Amino acid sequence: MRIYVIFGLLFFQTLSAYSQSLSSIQFIEPEVKFGKIVPTNTFIPKTHIQQRFGLNIGKLNLGGNDSWQSFYNYPNTGITLEYAKLGLDSMFGNAVSVLPYIEFRLGQKIPKSFSFHISLGASYFDTPFDSITNPTNKAVGSHVTWAFQLFGYQNIYTNNRLILRLGGGYMHNSNGHTKLPNFGLNSAALSLSAQFLHAQSEVSILEELPNHPSNLSRNFGLEFRQGLGFQAFGGTAAPIGGNIRQVFSSELSVSVFFRRYFKFYGGFAFRYYQNFYDYLIENQINKLSNRPKLNASSFYFFLGTEFLIGHVGLDIQGGLTIFKPFYKKFDSVYQHSKPFDYWLKYLFPSRMGLKFYLFNTQYLPKNNVWTGAHIAANFGEADFTEISFGFVHILK
């Protein structure tokens, strides 16, 4: 857990500071959210209203036509600091979160505009699962978790110093299957916020923003990734205190870059699960244990998209399993999934996370290296948490 928190803090700092030299309007935004925990399992009792108090520290990016800001229609970027009272102190307690974010606006006008807000970071819970003092909290199995939020915001009042906004959205926390239990915590909430802008005198947000170029020039590249994951062995609920072992990943892909700011890629990946190998050696499962290293592995095809923002990339990937022989035995022992759910989790691996590039991607360097932190899942169910290192080569 400590590893991806350290990487996360690096990304938080990067998202806040990487574009200071570019034209921008900075703001601070106090925000209150009221919502409820969404009961996805029977162990979650009736809860009270959830209260969240946040401060968004960000900027409206106004770079030139040949910039990632223009390509993404001049988005907001920044960091959210948030304190949450989760609605049932005895079971869930309180949480604090730090989340870098990007917010995409629809249309060229800021007044009365609608925008989509995506954030990914980390949360600290003061009352996680404890087998003695808090055995009913199976949603949050560790103090530190991943945090993901997806919100929509409507501007209801705008002048050159202030924007009032109403919003609503979804929030999810999971420790990435690095400590059990880990059902995850899901919440829905409504939001009220006020952006206080430090506007430059020559910039008026009441005017229409410039059109961004429609040219989608393309470049092609090759990419290699090596990942090191951490996985607690077992199902979502148990065994508590299961062994944490490594997951080794290798990946080769072909990429298409659109105007240097958006990447679409596809390729093949190989994974080796140390927990699967140990289980096969210890239990001698029919033919599977005859070739334990091979049968503790998986092989899959994947497609992915990446939003390139200077030195930072927001990476989302989905795959199709070709080979994963041990998963059927694993599911029968620990998951007990219904047939349809089993096939969804077997067939569709996924990954989501943040990447930090050594060289600014806006200039499309011929060779680049990166490091990143991701959460890997089987369909929507967490599988492991991973740190990765990669190399990108632009063909032309």
CATH number of 218-394: 2.40.160
**Which residue numbers in the chain have pLDDT < 50?**
1, 3-4, 6-7, 12-13, 16-22, 201
Predicted local distance difference test score (pLDDT) of residue 19: 43
Predicted local distance difference test score (pLDDT) of residue 118: 95
Encoding tokens for residue 6? 């350290």
β-pair partners for 270? 250, 299
Instruction: Give the residue among 5, 40, 385, 2 at the shortest CA–CA distance from 237.
Output: 40
Predicted local distance difference test score (pLDDT) of residue 213: 66
Per-residue pLDDT tens for 112-163?
999 999 999 999 999 999 989 999 999 999 999 999 999 999 999 999 899 9
DSSP-assigned letter for residue 134 = B
Predicted local distance difference test score (pLDDT) of residue 62: 84
Predicted local distance difference test score (pLDDT) of residue 20: 43
Predicted local distance difference test score (pLDDT) of residue 235: 84
What gap in Å lies between CA 68 and CA 62, rounded to an integer?
10
Predicted local distance difference test score (pLDDT) of residue 202: 61
Cα angle, residue 324 at apex, residues 318 and 325 outer, rounded to 5°: 160
Predicted local distance difference test score (pLDDT) of residue 21: 42
Per-residue pLDDT tens for 200-229?
646 678 888 877 666 678 999 999 999 999
Label each residue of 182-201 as H, E or C: CCCEEEEEEEEEEEEEECCC
Predicted local distance difference test score (pLDDT) of residue 203: 66
Task: Give whole-number Cα distances, 255 to 95, 285, 387, 392, in Å.
Answer: 38, 40, 21, 9
Encoding tokens for residue 64? 């030139």
What gap in Å lies between CA 35 and CA 50, rounded to an integer?
5
CATH of 2-198, one of 2.40.160.20, 2.40.70.10, 3.40.1800.10, 4.10.410.60: 2.40.160.20
Predicted local distance difference test score (pLDDT) of residue 59: 92
Task: Give whole-number Cα distances, 178 to 2, 75, 131, 238, in Å.
Answer: 11, 34, 17, 12
Q: Where are the domains of the chain?
A: 2-198, 218-394
| Extended strands (E) in the chain | 24-37, 50-61, 76-85, 94-106, 114-125, 144-158, 162-174, 185-198, 218-232, 244-258, 262-273, 297-309, 312-323, 349-357, 367-378, 381-394
DSSP-assigned letter for residue 233 = S
